[in-house]
Structure formats: C-alpha cells, structure tokens
Chains A and B, each alone.
Chain A
C-alpha cells in the first residue's frame, strides 16, 4: 500500500467532514496549549524544588487521554474522508455488462449489491480492473447460451450478481454467476498435466485456482473476443495480491460459480501497528500482523545444515534463520555486519515472521517496543526491495518499515513478489497503466505507437491545468452515467437528453481546452447524436445508446490514461462511424465558391423594387468590394459581420457570394456588396473603409457608385 500518489489528484469531500476536521484542528490547538501550560507548571515545580503533586499527575494524564482521543478520531475521520460510495463503480460495471452482452449476444440480468458500501477511493480504482475482467470471464465462460440454458431448465437470461461489502477488516467483492460452473474435471486434468498434483490426489481449491490463473491456460473451449486468450485470471490475482488481498472461488456444476476477492481495508494515512526492532545501527518496523513470535534463544540451539544454512526450531518445525541486515543486502545497510549479537543473557534475539504461510526467522540485535507508525512511502527515486518506506520514531529517529512480502520472497529465493514487481513497473517511466490488462479498448490508446506523449502536442497548456480540466470531467462522470442509464429506461425523457447533451458538450470543451483535439472530436460526434435527439430528428434507439455508452467508456479511458500520463490523443473510429451512421444525411449542397470579382450580383425581387425606389429618390447606390483576412475567426463569420456593418450604414440589396452561400460557409476572404445609403459620400467612404480596415482585417476596400 506504500504507493506514492500524484499530487494533482482530486476528490470531493463533504463539507460536513471538513467541518469536523476543523473542529478537531481546534481541539489539537487547545490540547497543545494545555500541554504548554503543564510544561510551565512542571518547570516551576522543578525550579522551586517541590514535589510533583497528584493534581499535576492527573492533569498530565488527562492531557494524554484527550490527545489520544483526538489522534484516533482524526485517524478515523481522514479514513472516512478518503472513502467513496460505489455508485460510480456500479455504473461502470453496468456498462461493461451491457457491452459484453451486446458483443456475445447473451442476455444478462445484472445486480449490483452494495452501492452504499464505502471504500477508500484508491482501492475502488484498483479493484475496477479485476472486477471488470472477472465480469467478462463470467459472461464469456460462465453463462451458457440461451438455448443451452433453456435445455437445462434455466431462464434464457443469465444472472450475474456483483456484491461488495465490508467486514471489520476486509472488503469482500463477490462475482456470482448462474452459469455452467467451472469444469473441475478439466481443471483436474490440466493440474496433473501441469505437474501441480498427482494422479491420485484430491483437487484442492488452491490448486484449482492456480490452474485457472496459469498464464496461457484458458478454461474456455474456444478463444473468444471478449475475455481474451487465456491470460487474465493471473493478472486479476496479481492485482488483488498487490492490494494485499486474496482470490478464491466456489463452483457447482450446472449451477454457477462465485469468485471472491478479499482486500484488507486500508488505512488512509498508511498507519501500521508495528513491532520496532534494532538491527545493527538501524531501526526497523515490522507490521505486527506478520510477526509470529519474538524470542531469545541460546546460541547452541541454532543448527547448521549443509544445504540450507542456519536453521532454528520454532514450535514443531525448523525455520531457516537469516540475518536481517544481510537479507536486505543494501549498500547502506551492510555497514553494520551481522555478527551473532547476544543479549545480556547470552541469547540471540530472533523474530519469526509469516507471509501467507511461509515463515522465516530473523536474527536481529534488539527488540524495542511495539507502536503505531506512519509509513512514508519511498517516492520511486529510492526503491529498496524488502522495505516499504521510512517512518519517524520517537526521539525523531528515522526508521524503516519492512515490506514483508518482498522480504520473505528474498529469503525464500523466489525473487520479486508479484506485488513488488508491479510496483517497479509503476515507478518505471512509460509503464502501461493497468498492468497490461488486455481489454477495455486499449486500441484507441495504442494507435500511434509513439509511447506516452505527455504534453508534447499541447505545449501551451500547462500540465497542472490539464489535470484541472480532467478532474472537472471526472466530476461530471457520475451525473453523465446517471443520465444515460436514466435515458436507457426512458428514451423519450427530454430532460435526460438535454442533460447528457450538456455534459458531453462541456466534456468536449474541456478536452479541447486541454489540448486533446482528437478526444474533443470523438466526443463531438457523440454530442451531435444527442443534439439531433434533442431536436427530435433522431430517436434514442439501442444503437444510439450504444454510441452514448461507448462515448462514456472512451472518456473514462481518457481520464484514466491522462492521469497516468499515458494518454495518446487519438480519435475512436468506432464511435465516429457509429455516430455518423445515426445522423440524418445532410442534403448535398453546391460546394463551390462563386467568383466574387466577375460574377453578377443578383437582387431578390424585393431588393430590385427597392433599388428602383432609391434611384427615384436620388439616394446613392454603392458597390463595395473587400478582401479580408479573417484571422482566428471563420471567414463566413467575418463576412457576415462586414455585412452587418454595411447594413448599419445603408440598405444592402445584394451580395456576392449571395448571403445564403456565406451563411453556408461558402466564402473565402473576399466579397462584394451593393447597397443604398443617404450618408455624405466622402464621410461614408472614409468611415466605412477605415472601420472595416481597423476592426475586421479588411486589406482591400473599393467603394464605387453603381447604377
């Protein structure tokens, strides 16, 4: 869990919790000033050579109690602040189900139980990939096709339940399907083939899971598009074990399977209960949960075997004995070589630790007290295998926190554990997010095989701002999800259509602001579909819903990869094509721009009557030819604005290109206008040409009389 978080991450915090935090801060201030007072009183007693009285002792002990209460309340509060409910996870999983169901043609009834469960935000993000993978597995390998199901007396639709709940110390995620169940006979054969068990042995759950998780082994008879090619379950298990959790399953032939992830509840500020020991001149904290026993044994009880080195007897078994400092094998740490340290009674202090059933004994120098320690994670610059971070002990001494997983792995010679390996990947630059889970539309990210290009194409947008805009998009996602699922149930609900339209529109805006032009383009096509739905030109059909849901998935991917610094801006062709196929075909209009300098300006019937009238009244008729540089605005807009300026000074009778062409964008940097005006010719010429030149990028302006 000792993982550095990017400082730009945001989360929503309830005002109520912030208020509580403020109150607690107040309590801290009061208790610290009381402490100051007690210190003064003590000093006074000391200076006047008086005895410490009971009153004094009581007040200090009150202070200690209060301060302990505050610390514990603070800890719980910060933990609570970091937790979120699972509404968002629920939406995302429902979309996955929808998507797989569409791809496999299997009808699925999906229940998410435990939307209100509160889980640490980081953990929610971390369990998403394993959950999404397992849901795919469940539908693809678990749920049978409708015909088979009916033959077996089941309902044609498959049922999947995703259940998330907390116990005192763990979060449970259960993914239950009512499919065919895991074929244990096949697993058994594979286990034997892989040498994981002998012919006569009984297949244990652990071995079965090992087989299911073996890379390259798929229990599906045929490889399918949805859940990949037999890789996956191993990735799921690695992911969960990285969180300190475990994967298990139960299955019943013909009835279905349930896969269970158990993840320990994380403490928000990485506080561990640790046993502090000294080894050489260094202090180390061992998480109490991993410590089996601490003992001091006479030197003679250490046995040395030729093959396994030093061993020590613990309970009824012999454990390999390692010197902690040697095991850590760190240049810095090596300084204090590991001799046999003996305590006052001539005994060696030994610590026995356990990681998932593997026990080792460690020679140390001295046992110190157990205490609560705050882990300060290494920030990637320093990564010592066997240690998870540093901590500050009483007396402002620096200590190291032991990473039991990798320490035991080192001791048993199993190399890096899955957890530390994944950690190394994350710290390395260019590591792909999600530890290479193959699904969730990675294509869009991988199209230009250029690797991560953070900031390359968006020099003018500072990275901080990018994350700000991305964070804002992230905040909109729950609302967007809610609107879309609302719309799916009630496709004519114009309020939801409008809301979804606005959200997609804002997301597009933010993406463009961020410099993700292709992202903006992709979202624009989703927005267009909604725009037509808004005006009633398109019905919200299942096809339309597909585009909308794909749009959300695309944005979610973008958020995820942008935050990890691995987003490569690319359009999603699937969305563009699907979006375009839904939109009503535009009428083909002539796309040629008329020749402005030679063509005739044609008046409308009405305008020609007015022209006659102006001549009768001897009001001057003018022709104005302009060439302009529209700068950062579209040409047609500037042409329209010039039209408006001229029409303020007179009556515009006609233009070339005709106004209707201009409004369709068929104009390019030059136009001709004919108009009538009663203004003094010299004044008119001077003002009009001056105004257009100054404000509208006009480079050439000819004003002549006509008619």
Chain B
C-alpha cells in the first residue's frame, strides 16, 4: 500500500538552515507538509503541538542532539511509536548502530539522495505487522 504523501506532516530537525532547507524542499517536493526545528528541544515542542507523522533528524546539533531526541521520543507516552529517520554525514558503523539503538528506524547519509529519502519514508511508514493484519 503506497502512502499518500499529501496527507503527511513531517518534522525536519537540523541546526543548519542550509541543509535543513534542502531537506524541507525535497519533502515538500513529495507533497509532504513540513514543520521545522533547529534542535531536539525545539523538535519536542513541535511534537507536542501535534499532528506529526514522521521525524527526520540530524544527529549533531546543539542543545539536544539526534540521539537524545530519539530517546526522548521513544520514552514519551504520546509519540513513542512515531517513525524516526536519522540523516547524518557520519557514516561510521558505530554512529549508525548507536542511532538504531536509541530508537531510529532508518538512516540516510548526507548529502542525501532524494529518491532514497522517498524510499525510506515509504518503508518506515509501512510496518510489516500492519501488512500482515491487512492481509
């Protein structure tokens, strides 16, 4: 089942305006509505405002980094099950594994490939368990 991107609202988190705006324009290109945040703390504020379907976040940020954000989201009562995609220039195995352990669902290397972003968003929003129950 293809997700209808037009009904989606994504949270794009990156302290860097330039890179964030690239991500935002890619997402908007898919028809996704985008909310932005500069760091983990701001991201949590945006999440509390509601309506977010997916989080795409950088790792290295001031105030609260991407790892902590993943942890906070997974521990929260309201949005613990939201898909989280991590984007980073760090392509070290340690970093990626750490992100997954903190609760990230997927990882994309920066500079990102637009098609990969689309593919990853589609798959993190399509849990296999749901496919089973939908038959």
Point out the residues of chain B lying under 8 angstroms from A695, CB to CB: 119, 122-123, 126
- CB of A634 closer than 8 Å to a CB of B: yes
**Residue-by-residue, is B100-131 near A (CB-CB < 8 Å gives 1, otherwise 0)?**
10000111111101001001001100111101
**Residue-by-residue, is A629-655 near B (CB-CB < 8 Å gives 1, otherwise 0)?**
001111011001100110011000000
Q: How far is the CA of A631 from the CA of B19 in the complex (A)?
A: 23
Number of A residues with CB within 8 Å of any CB on chain B: 38
- CB of A684 closer than 8 Å to a CB of B: yes
**Residue-by-residue, is A656-698 near B (CB-CB < 8 Å gives 1, otherwise 0)?**
0000000111000000000000010001100110110001100
Contact between B128 and A691 (Cβ–Cβ < 8 Å)? yes
Contact between A502 and B123 (Cβ–Cβ < 8 Å)? no
Stretch at the interface among B29-37, B49-57, B91-99: B91-99
- CB of B8 closer than 8 Å to a CB of A: no
Least CB separation from A679: chain B residue: B132
Q: How far is the CA of A679 from the CA of B18 in the complex (A)?
A: 47
Closest CB in chain A relative to B23 CB, distance in Å = 12
Contact between A510 and B18 (Cβ–Cβ < 8 Å)? yes
Point out the residues of chain A lying under 8 angstroms from B97, CB to CB: 640, 663
User: What does DSSP make chain B's interface, helix, strand, loop or mixed?
Assistant: mixed
Q: How far is the CA of A637 from the CA of B110 in the complex (A)?
A: 15
Point out the residues of chain A lying under 8 angstroms from B128, CB to CB: 645, 648-649, 687-688, 691
Point out the residues of chain B lying under 8 angstroms from A509, CB to CB: 16, 19, 89, 110
Least CB separation from B110: chain A residue: A509
Point out the residues of chain A lying under 8 angstroms from B107, CB to CB: 633, 637
Contact A513/B110 with A632-B116, A634-B93, A636-B93 known, Cβ cut-off 8 Å:
yes
Contact between A505 and B60 (Cβ–Cβ < 8 Å)? yes
Contact with A634, one of B60, B62, B96, B127 (Cβ below 8 angstroms): B96
Closest CB in chain A relative to B135 CB, distance in Å = 7
Number of B residues with CB within 8 Å of any CB on chain A: 33
Q: How far is the CA of A502 from the CA of B61 in the complex (A)?
A: 7
Closest CB in chain A relative to B133 CB, distance in Å = 10
Point out the residues of chain B lying under 8 angstroms from A636, CB to CB: 93, 96
Least CB separation from B108: chain A residue: A633
Contact between A663 and B16 (Cβ–Cβ < 8 Å)? no
- CB of A468 closer than 8 Å to a CB of B: yes
**Residue-by-residue, is B39-70 near A (CB-CB < 8 Å gives 1, otherwise 0)?**
00000000000000000000011100000000
Point out the residues of chain B lying under 8 angstroms from A688, CB to CB: 128
Contact between B93 and A506 (Cβ–Cβ < 8 Å)? no
Least CB separation from B61: chain A residue: A502
Closest CB in chain B relative to A479 CB, distance in Å = 11
- CB of A378 closer than 8 Å to a CB of B: no
Point out the residues of chain A lying under 8 angstroms from B108, CB to CB: 633
Point out the residues of chain B lying under 8 angstroms from A634, CB to CB: 91, 93, 96
- CB of A512 closer than 8 Å to a CB of B: yes
Contact with A663, one of B93, B123, B126, B132 (Cβ below 8 angstroms): B93
- CB of A359 closer than 8 Å to a CB of B: no
Point out the residues of chain A lying under 8 angstroms from B135, CB to CB: 683
Contact with A502, one of B60, B119, B129 (Cβ below 8 angstroms): B60
Contact A633/B131 with A505-B89, A510-B18, A664-B93 known, Cβ cut-off 8 Å:
no
Point out the residues of chain B lying under 8 angstroms from A690, CB to CB: 131
Point out the residues of chain A lying under 8 angstroms from B96, CB to CB: 634, 636-637
Point out the residues of chain B lying under 8 angstroms from A136, CB to CB: none
Q: How far is the CA of A166 from the CA of B111 in the complex (A)?
A: 45
User: 8 Å CB contacts to B: which residues of A126-179?
Assistant: none
Closest CB in chain B relative to A295 CB, distance in Å = 60
Contact between B89 and A649 (Cβ–Cβ < 8 Å)? no
Contact A469/B116 with A637-B96, A648-B127 known, Cβ cut-off 8 Å:
no
Would you give 14 A-B contacts (Cβ < 8 Å), ordered by A?
A501-B60, A506-B16, A512-B111, A513-B110, A632-B113, A634-B91, A634-B96, A636-B96, A644-B100, A648-B127, A648-B128, A665-B93, A679-B132, A695-B119
Interface residues of A (CB under 8 A from B): 468-469, 472, 499, 501-502, 505-506, 508-510, 512-513, 520, 631-634, 636-637, 640-641, 644-645, 648-649, 663-665, 679, 683-684, 687-688, 690-691, 695-696
A-B CB proximity, top 9 nearest: A695-B123, A509-B89, A665-B93, A505-B60, A513-B111, A691-B128, A663-B97, A687-B132, A632-B116
